[in-house]
Structure 1
Amino acid sequence: MKKIVYVSFLVVSGFINAQNFQGVAVYESKTSTSDITSNFRGNREITPEMQKQIEQNMKAMFEKTFVLTFDKTASTYAEEEKIEAPGQQNGMRFMSSMMGGGGTHYKNVKDKVFLIDREFAGKEFLIKDSLPKLDWKLTGETKQIGNYMCFKATALRPVSQSDFRNFRRKKEEGKKEEVQAEDKKEDRNTNFMDQWEMPKEIEVIAWYSPDIPVNQGPENYWGLPGLILEVSDGKTVILCSKIVINPKKKKEIKAPKKGTIVTQGAYDKIVAEKMEEWREMGRNGGGFRISR
C-alpha cells in the first residue's frame, strides 16, 4: 500500500512541476438547516404543503456543488452552474438576500490575496483583502477519502459577520419571562431576526492529502501541505467528490472584476447595517415576522 501511495505521489508531483499544471476538484457542500426550519413547525398559518416547500427551498439553498480549479499558486471556487427549478425562489427572497447570492472565490496563495464577487441586497460587491492565515494544528490522525490518504488538521477562526451559514438560535435564558411579557401586551408576533446570533469563532476541521502537494482548498481555506479534501466548518461540511489532475480542457484561472471594491471588514459592516435595518423593520411591523 505504501508503495502505491508513493508512486501516486511521484506521478502527481511530476504533473504539478509541469509548467502548465492544472487540477479540478468537485466539492459537495451541505449546511444544517434544522434551526431555521424548526421555526416554521407548529405554526398554524403554515400548512404541511408550505412546510414541505420551505424545506425543499432550504435544501436547494444549503446543499450545493462547487468546482475548485487550481494551479500551483491560484484557484477559483464557484458554484456549479445549473438550471434552477421553477418557483424555487418564491417566498425565499429575504433569505436568499441574506445568503448573498453566488459568486466566485479567487485566491492567490503566492500573493496572499483573495477576491469574491458577491451580490447582497440588490447590489454587487467585489471583496478584496489579504488571504486569512489560520494557525493549523496537525494532529497526525488519518482517514481515506476516495483514493487519497488524508491527514487531519484543526484551527480556530473568527466568524465573518456576513456568513449567515453560522447563524444560530439564541440561548433559551429568560425566554419564559419574555413570552409572559409579550402575552400581557397581547402581541403574538416575534421578529425573526431577533431570535438569532452569530458566534465569534468556530473550530475548523480539515482533511488534506499530501498526495496532491498543492497549497489549496475550497473557499478561503489553504495553508496545509496538500490539497484540502474535506472541511467541517461550523454547521457546514464541504467534501470533495471528484479530482481530475491536468484535465484535457484547461480553464483560465482569473480573478473576478465586477462590483464595488470593498475589504472584507467593510463588507461585513454593510451587511451588519442592513441586518439592523431589517430588525427595526420587523419591530415596527414592516419586516420579516413569523407567528409563534
Structure 2
Amino acid sequence: MRLLYKLIACTTLFTSSIFAQKLEVKYQELMIVDKDDFKKSMKFESSTSSKLPSGFEDQVYKSMTEPKDYLLTIFDNESYYKKEEKISNNQSTGGFSISFSTSGAGEGLYKNIETKQYITNVSSFDKAFTIKDQLKNYDWKLSRETKKILGFDVKKATATVDSTTIVAWYAPSLAVKNGPGKYDGLPGLILETESQDSKDKMNAKTVIRVIEVKEVPDLKKIDKPKEKNIVTNDEFKKVMDAQNEKFKKMRSEGVDRKD
C-alpha cells in the first residue's frame, strides 16, 4: 500500500511538472484611472501652427483604459508574451491613431528565466530597436494570504521597485517561476498582478488578470526575436528622451513635421 502511494505521488508530480513546462496563458491588462485625474495630469503643448485635434485627450484616455488581451507562451525556461490584436471599428481622431500599453512588451517580449535575460523589439519615431537586457530581481515578500483564481489555489506576494508597489498572486501547483510582462521569480506561475506608482500624478493602477490557462503538450520551442539596433533599456530611454525633446522643440518653433 505504501508503495502504491509513492507511485501515485510520483505520477502526480511528474504530470504536474510536464503540465507546467508547456503552457499558453491568456491575460487581460487593465489600467484603472479617474478621468478627471488623467486630464489634470496631461499637459499637451501646442502652437498656433500645430494644434492637437479636438477630442485628442478623450482618445488617449480611451486607449489607456480599455482592456487589452495578452498571450504568454511558456516552453521550459523560455517564454514569449505578446499582445493579441483586436479588430476595431473606432476611428482615429484628426488623423491620430492611439495605442497604449503598460506591459513593456513592445512588439512581443521574450524571456529566459534561467539566464534572467529579456528581449523585445520596439519602435521610436519610425526607427526600430531591440532592447536586450536583464530582468529585475524582485525582492518578493511572501504572504500567508490565499484565494482562488480560475480554480487554482494562489498565494499573495508583494514587492517594491523604486516608487512602484506590486501585488502578485501565484499558483504553486503550476511550477514555473514566470508571469505576465517582465514579472517572474515566484515559486509558481503568476496569475494576477496589481501595480501602482506612488509618484504617478494620475494615481493610476494597472491590473493584469489571467483569463485562461491551457496545457499544450506539442508546443513548439520558442524562437528568440530577430535583433536589430541592440540597446539596453536605459539606452533606449535616453533615445526616447532625446526624440521627445527634439519633438517639443519643433512644436514650439511651429514646425509641423518629424524626421
- TM-score band w.r.t. shorter chain: 0.7 to 0.9
Query: Which of the two has greater helix per residue?
Result: 1
Mark the CA change 1:116 to 1:54 in structure 2 (over 3 Å): closer, same or farther.
same
Q: Which residue of 2 aligns with 1:229?
A: 191
Q: Which residue of 2 aligns with 1:111?
A: 115
1:156 offset after TM fit, Å?
1.2
- Superposition map of 1:143-158 within 5 A: 143-158=147-162
Residue 210 (str. 1) matches residue 172 (str. 2): yes
- Superposition map of 1:240-279 within 5 A: 240-245=210-215, 247=216, 250-279=219-248
Query: Which stretch shows the higher mean deviation, 97-106 or 18-27?
Result: 97-106
Q: Secondary structure at the match of 1:214?
A: coil
Residue 54 (structure 1) aligned to one of 44, 59, 65: 59
1:264 offset after TM fit, Å?
0.9
Residue 220 (structure 1) aligned to one of 182, 191, 200: 182
Mark the CA change 1:129 to 1:72 in structure 2 (over 3 Å): closer, same or farther.
same
Structure 2 spans left out of the alignment, 5+ residues: 1-8, 44-51, 197-204
TM norm structure 1:
0.67
Structure 1 spans left out of the alignment, 5+ residues: 1-8, 159-200
Residue 239 (structure 1) aligned to one of 205, 209, 214: 209
- Superposition map of 1:96-135 within 5 A: 96=99, 102-135=106-139
Mark the CA change 1:202 to 1:84 in structure 2 (over 3 Å): closer, same or farther.
same
Mark the CA change 1:97 to 1:125 in structure 2 (over 3 Å): closer, same or farther.
farther
Question: Hey, what's the Cα distance between the residues in 2 that align with 1:263 and 1:22?
Answer: 29
1:270 offset after TM fit, Å?
0.8
CA RMSD of aligned residues (A): 3.4
- Tell whether the 8 Å contact from 1:37 to 1:55 is kept in structure 2 after alignment: no
Percent identity (aligned) = 30
1:250 offset after TM fit, Å?
1.9
Question: Hey, what's the Cα distance between the residues in 2 that align with 1:239 and 1:19?
Answer: 20
How many aligned residue pairs are there?
Answer: 229
